[in-house]
Amino acid sequence: MEKEKVKEPLKTKIANGIQTFKSHWGTPPKGYQVCYREFAAFAAGCGSPNLLGVLTQYTTIATSVHLMISYFKLSTGMAWILTILASVIAILRSPVLSMMIDNSNGKNGKFKPFLIWAAIGTAVSFSFVPYIPSAWMDIHLFSIPLPAIPIMGIYEASTINFNLGILLAFVLIQIGQFFITLLNQCVAGMEQTISTVAQERANIGSIKGLVSGLPSSIVNIILPILAGTFFAQQGGWNAVNMYRIIFPICGVLGVIMVLLLVKGVEERTVVKQEYVARVKFSEGMKLLSKSKYFWIITIFNAFNAVRGLANITTWITQYSFASDTAKTWVGLYCSTILMNAIAVALLVGPILIKKLGKKNLMLISCVGYVIMIALQVVFHKSPVLILVVSFFEQFFGGFYFLTGIMTSDIMDDIQMKTGKRLEGFWQNYMAIITTVIGVFTGMLTPLFLSFGGIGFSDDISVALQNPDLRNNIFFYQSLLALIGAVVVAVPFFFYDLTEKKHANIVRVLRIRAAVDNFHDNMLQSEDIAYLQEIVDYANETKEPMLTEELAKHDCIDSILKVANASA
C-alpha cells in the first residue's frame, strides 16, 4: 500500500513561501526571466497611467461629467461637435505616435525614453483644466447653427454657443490626450516586452491588473466622501475647488510612480545587438494589414464597446426600485460583489491559461458573455435577474486582459515574418480603425432606442421613469449588446497562434538573433546557450519550423564550435 502523503503544516507552508519569495526577489524563477523585484516595480509603476486616468475621467467632454456641465456650461450640442472634432484629432494623432514609438532607438529601450515626459505632460495639461477662470465661461466667441435632423430625433433647429473657457479646456484636454495616449501605449509596450515567456507574461498581466488599479480605486472612493462632506456646501461633485486640489495631487503621484518603470523594469525583445528601428507609417500599416491576428484583435476592440452596452446596472439601481432601502442595497451589490467579478477573472486567469490555452479560454469567455446577454434579453423585465447575469458578464469580460497577452505573441509572429517590431503601429493603426468604426457604432444606440419609442433629443432620465419605456430601453440596448458580443466572439474561432507555435516562433527569433550577432562580431554567451538548447530540441522533436530555419544558416556549426572552444 502507498503511504499517505503527509500534509505540510500551515506554518511550514508560510515559511517555505517566504523563503521562495526571498530567493526570487532578485533572481527569476527557473524558466522565467523576471524576478519578483522587477515585477513589483512593474505592477506598481503601471498604477501611473491608471492614476493619471482619473484626470481624464473627470474632464471627459460629456454631459454626464459634473465638472463639464456645471463649471464649463457644456451643452449636448457642444459635446456632440467637440466629440467629433476629438475623433478627427485622434486619427491625425495616431501616425505621429506610431512613428515616434516604432522608430525609437533609445539606449534604455524602445518605450522607457518617453515615460517621464509623457507622464509630466499628462499631469500638467489636465491639472490646469479646473484652474481656467470661471469668468471665461461668459466670454462668447462664436455660434454654430444646427439644423433640424428628424432622423436623429432633432426636430427643431438650434444654435450652439461656444465660450472661451470650454474651448481652452478642450485644447488642454487634447494636449493631455496626446501625452496620456503615448504613456498608455508605452506602458502597454513594456508589458508586451517584459518577458519572452508567454506564460510569464500571462501571470504578470493578470496580477498587474489587480495591483495597478488600486491607486485610482482609492481616489474614486475618496472623491464621493469629499464631495459629500468637505465640499457639500460648494455644490458637492460640482465644486471646482475639489478638482483643483485632487488633480495636482494625482498628477504628482502619477509622475513619481512612473519612475518605477523607468528605473526598475527591463524591456526584452529577441533582436540582434545592433538592431535599429526604422519603419514608415505606410509600411507599418501594410505589414499589419497582412496579419489575420491583427484583424481578430481589432474587431474585438472595435465592438467590445457595443458589447459593453449590456451593463445597465446604473439605470437599474436608480430607476427599477422604488424604495431608498432597495436602491441602497442594489448600489452596495453593484459596488462590491459586481465590481469584484473582474478581479475573480484576473486571479484565476493564469491557472486557466495553463490548463486551457489562451484561445480556448478567450472563446469560453466570449461565448459565455453571449449567453449571459441572451439571458438578459429574455429577462429584460426582471431587474433582479439582470443583476445576477450582470455578475457573470463582468466575470467573462474580466478575461479582456488576454488580448494584451495575445498581442505580445502576435508581435513575435509579425517580427518573424517581417523582421520589424511594430508595437506602436499596432496600437495607433488599430486606434484609427476603431475610431472610424466607433463613429458608426455610436449611431446604433440612438437607432435601437428609437425602436422602443425614445428619440434622439428625449431625456433618458425621464423615459426611464416610465415602466414601459424602461423595459423597451433595457430590451433594445441589451439586444444591441448581444449583436456586439456575437461579432466579438466569432473571429476567435480563427485564432490559431497556439502556445506551442509561439514557443517555436521565439526559438526562430533566437536563431536569427544569434546568426546576426555572429556576423556582426557581437555574439553573446546567452546567444550560444539558447542556440545549443534549440538545436538539441529540434533534433529531438524534428519540429519543421525549427529544422527549416536551422537549415537556412550555414554558420550554426561555427557558432556552436565557439562554445566548444570556450569550454
CA–CA gap between residue 245 and residue 248 (Å, rounded): 6
Of 210, 301, 250, nearest to 484 by C-alpha is 301
The DSSP code sequence of 228-268 is HTTTGGGTGGG-HHHHHHHHHHHHHHHHHHHHHHHHH----
Q: Positive or negative CA dihedral for 18, 19, 21, 22? A: positive
Looking at residue 156, what is its pLDDT?
A: 66
532 assigned to some structural domain:
yes
CA–CA gap between residue 496 and residue 514 (Å, rounded): 28
163 assigned to some structural domain:
no
Return the DSSP state at 150: G
530 assigned to some structural domain:
yes
CA–CA gap between residue 334 and residue 12 (Å, rounded): 39
CA–CA gap between residue 518 and residue 513 (Å, rounded): 8
Residue 560 and residue 522 in contact, taking contact as beta carbons nearer than 8 Å: no
Number of domains in the chain: 1
Looking at residue 2, what is its pLDDT?
A: 47
Grid cell at residue 416: 518573424
| Single-letter amino acid, residue 508 | V
Helix, strand, coil in percent for the chain, rounding step 5: 75, 5, 20
Place of cell 506602436: 424
CA–CA gap between residue 270 and residue 196 (Å, rounded): 8
Which residues have C-beta within 8 Å of that of residue 289, sequence separation ≥ 6?
Answer: none
Looking at residue 459, what is its pLDDT?
A: 62
Looking at residue 483, what is its pLDDT?
A: 96
Q: Positive or negative CA dihedral for 26, 32, 33, 38? A: negative
Looking at residue 228, what is its pLDDT?
A: 72
pTM above 0.95, yes or no: no
551 assigned to some structural domain:
yes
302 assigned to some structural domain:
no
The crossing angle, in degrees rounded to 10, of helices 402-418 and 292-307 is 160
Looking at residue 270, what is its pLDDT?
A: 63
Residue 247 and residue 126 in contact, taking contact as beta carbons nearer than 8 Å: yes
CA–CA gap between residue 153 and residue 151 (Å, rounded): 6
Looking at residue 248, what is its pLDDT?
A: 95
Taking only the tens of pLDDT, the chain with its 567 residues reads 444 555 667 677 777 778 877 888 888 888 788 888 998 999 899 999 999 998 998 898 876 677 887 788 877 677 778 888 888 898 888 888 877 877 776 677 788 889 999 999 999 999 999 999 999 988 988 888 877 766 555 666 777 888 899 999 999 999 999 999 999 988 988 888 888 777 787 778 777 877 887 888 788 778 777 877 787 787 777 788 999 999 999 999 999 999 999 998 888 776 555 455 566 777 888 888 999 999 999 999 999 989 988 988 878 877 888 777 787 788 778 767 887 788 888 888 888 988 998 999 999 999 999 999 999 999 999 999 999 999 999 999 989 888 988 988 898 899 899 888 777 778 788 888 888 888 788 778 878 888 888 765 566 767 888 899 999 989 999 999 999 999 999 999 999 999 899 889 989 988 988 888 888 888 788 888 888 889 999 999 999 999 998 988 888 888 887 655 555
Domain coverage including residue 550: 499-566
Helix (H) or strand (E) holding 146: strand 140-146
